[in-house]
Structure 1
């Protein structure tokens, strides 16, 4: 997730399918040099689709994993009861789609690095709800967008607020068995793998890690450096691509990413979770992204 969403260009809206999802048996695809890597898509870029239509798309495109976004007025909704959340889990299971991670967002998402304590408290409210939802789903990772850094705060202050917030929530995350993945986003904060690793180390909890976006640092850095520098601190991975000279996010394999090295380095550091793409676009593009992801993970 970067610049608030995953692409600088406004994606075309989906044509909603009337086809209901169906049960499909799935088999792992062994990849050269390691175990099969599961590919998936995030609901961040599928907000026009209902959950049923999202699951149907996953089946057609052969995505194995979905990242669920629970939001106000979304499908699924952040205000769902535990029984309703378990119903969402059951719908995914019946469709044969694994829930790789989840997000819980209120309309006001707050900000962990904002000078206003009320903003930081709202960020914590969203994160706690994310962890509660993940625990009910039986999912062990959530995505966290830290919020935007502003000129009103010093970098040191923002750092301390971020570390303090993570230390505060860590015992709850540990109790629930859910890892918080802090995503590297376009927010003028956590600009290097060294900084990302130091934040995780300062918090000192195995349930606080990094949700690595492979393109959000490409204007000023390299995903390979982040993978090698963070290693086991990587909780989950978003696949995106970027063209540096155009300063633009593009479909996977259309940008400057050295995918062979990215995949090789993920294997070397022992990352064994799913890879979930965040490329906005219409139904046809989402099907194409699944095909390209299969090529990427087989490199």
Structure 2
């Protein structure tokens, strides 16, 4: 089981307001949250690989997982770059997505070969009920027909949005669970989601962590709170406290 008190990460999108200041500024925000790991979006320019990794490392932050800036569509020349960054950083899994298209399986087949080539696993981000890979039946169908290099980054809030119980998902997809986003929503009457501190919305945080322990989960785990864009650290710190308290 991943040691959440040592390896809990935070998604760099939480700090998107500070992106123009460069990766060092984001790394400092990670440290302000009390964490030492970050999920980082792969640079589109390979010339920035070393600079990006060094910027985080110099601030005492490890790149614990990588997210890809574009969805897989079956173009290996365009898609190899993000996986090369993951390999460069020494991460085991990459958060990704797949573009729907008529030649349904081509992106999956190409992506699996690239993942094998770079020694990483691909973790599909289930982005809610409106997303084609959000519902549990669709994910189960994909996993039943693809390489084990392709698995899931379970976003707990978006799972609920797709009417998928995240605790059931942990157990159902245990063998293909490569990543986890601790995220929580409350909804307006118009069904608009609002980010809240994890465990204060619809996520049963102690039960979720108990399920992770039950399957001896050893993928990456990242906090994601997209609210308070200009000052996300205070609530992210509370998210950290909530996860630690539930461990």
What is the TM-score normalised by the length of structure 2? 0.83
Q: Which runs of 5+ in 1 are unaligned?
A: 1-33, 71-76, 113-119
Equivalent residue for 1:291, pick from 222, 238, 241 = 238
CA distance in 2, matches of 1:191, 1:66: 24
- Residues 141 and 235 in structure 1, CA contact (< 8 A), matched pair in contact too: yes
CA distance in 2, matches of 1:263, 1:66: 20
1:279 to 2:221 alignment: no
1:46 to 2:18 alignment: no
Equivalent residue for 1:249, pick from 168, 171, 194 = 194
Distance of aligned partners of 1:35 and 1:179 in 2 relative to their CA distance in 1, 3 Å threshold: closer
Q: Which runs of 5+ in 2 are unaligned?
A: none
Equivalent residue for 2:204, pick from 242, 258, 262 = 258
- The residue aligned with 1:130 is 82
- Residues 240 and 249 in structure 1, CA contact (< 8 A), matched pair in contact too: no
- The residue aligned with 1:27 is none
- The residue aligned with 2:55 is 91
Distance of aligned partners of 1:229 and 1:92 in 2 relative to their CA distance in 1, 3 Å threshold: same
Distance of aligned partners of 1:195 and 1:210 in 2 relative to their CA distance in 1, 3 Å threshold: same
**Cα offsets for 1:19-69 (capped at 9, x unmatched):** xxxxxxxxxxxxxxx662122211223222221111111112211211111
CA distance in 2, matches of 1:172, 1:265: 31
Distance of aligned partners of 1:194 and 1:128 in 2 relative to their CA distance in 1, 3 Å threshold: same
Distance of aligned partners of 1:39 and 1:62 in 2 relative to their CA distance in 1, 3 Å threshold: same
Between the two proteins, the alignment pairs up a number of residues equal to 235
Matches within 5 A, 1:19-98: 36-37=3-4, 38-49=7-18, 50-70=22-42, 77-81=43-47, 84-98=48-62
Q: 1:298 offset after TM fit, Å?
A: 3.3
Structure 1 or 2: more helix by fraction: 2
- The residue aligned with 2:91 is 139
CA RMSD of aligned residues (A): 2.4
Structure whose CA Rg is larger: 1
